[in-house]
Structure 1
Amino acid sequence: MSFLVDHPEIRTIRVAAADLNGQARGKRVPARFADKMAENGTRFPLSVMNLDIWGEDIDDSPLVFASGDPDGVLLPTERGFVPMPWLEAPTALLPLWMHHEDGRPFDGDPRHALARVMRRYAERGLTPVVATELEFYLIDDSGKTLRVPPSPRSGKRRAGAEILSLRALDAWDVFFTDLYDACEAMDIPAETAISEGGLGQFEVNLSHQPDALKAADDAWLFKLLVRGMARRHGCAASFMAKPYEDYPGNGMHVHFSVLDAEGRNIFDDGGPRGTDTLRHAVAGCLAAMPGSALIFAPHGNSYERMVPGAHAPTGVSWAYENRTSAIRIPAGATAARRIEHRVAGGDVNPYLLLAAILGAALDGIEDAAEPPAPITGNAYDQDLPHMPTDWAGAIDAFESAPEVARIFPAALIRNLVLTKRQELRYLADLSPQERVDLYLDTV
């Protein structure tokens, strides 16, 4: 409660949890009830964690009519209250996660899925150190056609890609200044911002940290913040995988290393190759990649990004210092030897993403699995194993993959499969414009 004591200006609070699609589901509460929420949490139906992208019940979910649609107990996470600087009225958000009435974690909660993986690491005396890179577009969506917003400085629309352009960043200096101030207030460790290869596309890196749950919280909160802050600045922000047909999609790359109980990086062998343990982790990630495609590409639009030559990996491969591969081992100081997982789109649920990647890496470490030889050259020109190339195939693979069953609880797998099959059916009836409207600033 120290946050609210230090911020008496807070007038309302939001209490919310991330559902399987990463959507914030919750309530608006007057600030005078904050003590009650912080101490006791609140109650939602368990089925709220398992809604489709429109926010509707899943038709054949066992969480709804078959079980009487029972409540669960939403308890505060260790994050505590954070401000919501994109709203007009002074407001704080209390992140929650779902439990059963008897206190057991609810297996259908994506944050609990990540916590489950982290317990496995802790049992081995290991700690993942995780960072994320999030790409997004700033978009003028006021008309029928998506356009790059006019520069707040010049009023002009720059209809071209501006990779690593200071001019593009400077044009949006007020937005990024407000964004970084908000990240500071929310304890989101935002580092470098760059302009990317699309119209009004940017990337912000979040710092490496030895707390994967916080890293996922940060990514989830950052997406809420960017979308909200963009609206305050008169445009939309989109993490949609592919908002423009002719420009690069949005990715969310994950970097991680692993520390032992003495704080040593178990991927570091003092040289560029890395340890056997690094290669075991790579092997685990590669083995789980086809079955986990639904996590990396969870929506209908996601598969428009997953095409050869579009700066998104399509083949199952790894390499040293090669951005065409699905897994890259960056060069640099050996003490920072790490794995970069480059498959996911910006439209993912960060909790499921980190659970899938870190769980697969730990499986490879536990099995002492060996990867194939690292590739060299352009991965798009090589005959490589492929991930599912369409949404339906990814759903089927996720449902049946033994690697997925080793990482995620059966209830979460069932719930996500039911959700995605319902979305697949409904999306078939939408026009291309309706699909863009659905995903643009939702995911």
Structure 2
Amino acid sequence: MYSVEDVMTFVSQEDVRFIRLTFFDIFGRQKNISILPDQLERAFGKGIAVDAFAVPGFENEIHGDLYLKPDPSTFTILPWRSVDGSVVLMICSLVYPDGRPFEKDLRMQLKEAVQDACALGISLRMSTEFEFYLFRNDEKGNPTSIPLDTGGYLDVSPLDHGENIRREICFTLEEMGLQPQASYHQCGPGQNEVDFHASAPCRAADEASLFKWVVRTVASTNGLRADFTPRPLPDEPGNGLHVNMQVESADFLNPIDEEEAFRHFMA
């Protein structure tokens, strides 16, 4: 896990040209701003200002700037960029100009929920299973609703045309420090699934959010469109997002029973 000092050292010693600071709006959509390396110290200190009024969902709460404070533990190199002139990424928290946490920061809300669970003696781990369709683009690069293939559940090539795309997605995730567990063809034509290992809730949420970005990027570079919507094709299976939750006692000396832990968790 990277510290502030680790990130500062890496950026100063390697050929890092841009630093992408990412955050998420209240709908979970990824936003970002890029800074140059000479602004990194300021980012870790006061933060980098963004216009909150222009972010959907924030405009009714604040008429001014919010500041992005990067989390060094999320530091990763974007693997689809050239080694010469690297671009790195960090996920950020949102704070007011005086340093107070912004109430609609989803990562902050999740961290507070995890802390509340720990206070009740509950430990949480989460994992995700994403389903998505891959559609072809037309000869002009415009999106269509033509699936990449006609394969079905767990099919292999030549029925499964998405095998190489899923492999590229998984390799890209691994290069970014994310750990996919399995990938395969789902039931619908052109439908795929990638599953993740269980991890701490905040890391699982970060991985899930970045995963969709990686999938869309890899699909686009291969002339395809990735679709995560619930039912892209009306007569075919819909896309699911399965969130698996492991609820355990956090106090090994005075463990609470599973039924009590479950009741606390549901509450």
Q: Same fold (TM over 0.5)?
A: yes
- Please say if residues 107 and 113 of structure 1, whose CA atoms lie closer than 8 Å, have aligned partners that are also in contact: yes
Are 2:71 and 1:71 equivalent residues in the alignment?
A: no
- Please say if residues 86 and 228 of structure 1, whose CA atoms lie closer than 8 Å, have aligned partners that are also in contact: no
Counterpart in the other structure of 1:47: 53
Are 2:216 and 1:222 equivalent residues in the alignment?
A: no
Q: Which runs of 5+ in 1 are unaligned?
A: 64-68, 150-157, 270-274, 282-360, 364-443
Which of 164, 180, 202 is equivalent to 1:190? 180
In 2, Cα distance between the equivalents of 1:86 and 1:79?
A: 21
- Please say if residues 137 and 223 of structure 2, whose CA atoms lie closer than 8 Å, have aligned partners that are also in contact: no
Q: How far has the Cα of 1:223 moved from its partner?
A: 0.9
In 1, Cα distance between the equivalents of 2:158 and 2:209?
A: 25
Secondary structure, counterpart of 1:192 in structure 2: strand
In 1, Cα distance between the equivalents of 2:37 and 2:217?
A: 21
Counterpart in the other structure of 2:259: 276
Which of 24, 27, 34 is equivalent to 1:21? 27
Q: What letter is aligned with 1:177?
A: R
In 2, Cα distance between the equivalents of 1:241 and 1:109?
A: 25
Counterpart in the other structure of 1:401: none
**RMSD, aligned CA:** 2.8
Cα distance change of structure 1 residues 133 and 144 upon mapping to structure 2, 3 Å threshold: closer
Are 2:208 and 1:204 equivalent residues in the alignment?
A: no
Q: How far has the Cα of 1:62 moved from its partner?
A: 4.2
Q: What letter is aligned with 2:31?
A: R
Q: What letter is aligned with 2:56?
A: L
Counterpart in the other structure of 2:105: 109
Which of 33, 39, 46 is equivalent to 2:39? 33
Secondary structure, counterpart of 1:140 in structure 2: strand
Note the alpha carbon deviations across 1:284-326, whole angstroms, 9 max, x for none: xxxxxxxxxxxxxxxxxxxxxxxxxxxxxxxxxxxxxxxxxxx
Cα distance change of structure 1 residues 147 and 127 upon mapping to structure 2, 3 Å threshold: same
Secondary structure, counterpart of 1:166 in structure 2: coil
Note the alpha carbon deviations across 1:49-107, whole angstroms, 9 max, x for none: x516xxxx85xx243xxxxx121221112533212234466311121111122322111
In 2, Cα distance between the equivalents of 1:128 and 1:73?
A: 29
In 2, Cα distance between the equivalents of 1:243 and 1:46?
A: 32
Secondary structure, counterpart of 1:146 in structure 2: strand
Note the alpha carbon deviations across 1:207-240, whole angstroms, 9 max, x for none: 112x111110110111111111111122111212
In 2, Cα distance between the equivalents of 1:174 and 1:263?
A: 44
Q: How far has the Cα of 1:161 moved from its partner?
A: 4.3
- Please say if residues 10 and 90 of structure 1, whose CA atoms lie closer than 8 Å, have aligned partners that are also in contact: yes
- Choose between structure 1 and 2: higher strand proportion: 2
Counterpart in the other structure of 1:80: 74
Q: What letter is aligned with 1:228?
A: T
Which of 159, 163, 168 is equivalent to 2:153? 163
Q: How far has the Cα of 1:30 moved from its partner?
A: 2.6
Which of 90, 109, 128 is equivalent to 2:86? 90
- Please say if residues 122 and 261 of structure 2, whose CA atoms lie closer than 8 Å, have aligned partners that are also in contact: no
Cα distance change of structure 1 residues 141 and 100 upon mapping to structure 2, 3 Å threshold: same
Cα distance change of structure 1 residues 236 and 26 upon mapping to structure 2, 3 Å threshold: same
Identity of aligned residues (%): 25
Cα distance change of structure 1 residues 9 and 201 upon mapping to structure 2, 3 Å threshold: farther
**What are the equivalent positions in structure 2 for 1:413-432 lying under 5 Å apart?**
none
**What are the equivalent positions in structure 2 for 1:178-327 lying under 5 Å apart?**
178-209=168-199, 211-262=200-251, 275-277=258-260, 280=263
- Please say if residues 160 and 185 of structure 2, whose CA atoms lie closer than 8 Å, have aligned partners that are also in contact: no
Which of 2, 10, 13 is equivalent to 2:6? 2
Which of 132, 137, 155 is equivalent to 2:133? 137
Secondary structure, counterpart of 2:114 in structure 1: helix
In 2, Cα distance between the equivalents of 1:214 and 1:246?
A: 35
Cα distance change of structure 1 residues 169 and 124 upon mapping to structure 2, 3 Å threshold: farther
- Please say if residues 84 and 225 of structure 1, whose CA atoms lie closer than 8 Å, have aligned partners that are also in contact: no
**What are the equivalent positions in structure 2 for 1:379-394 lying under 5 Å apart?**
none
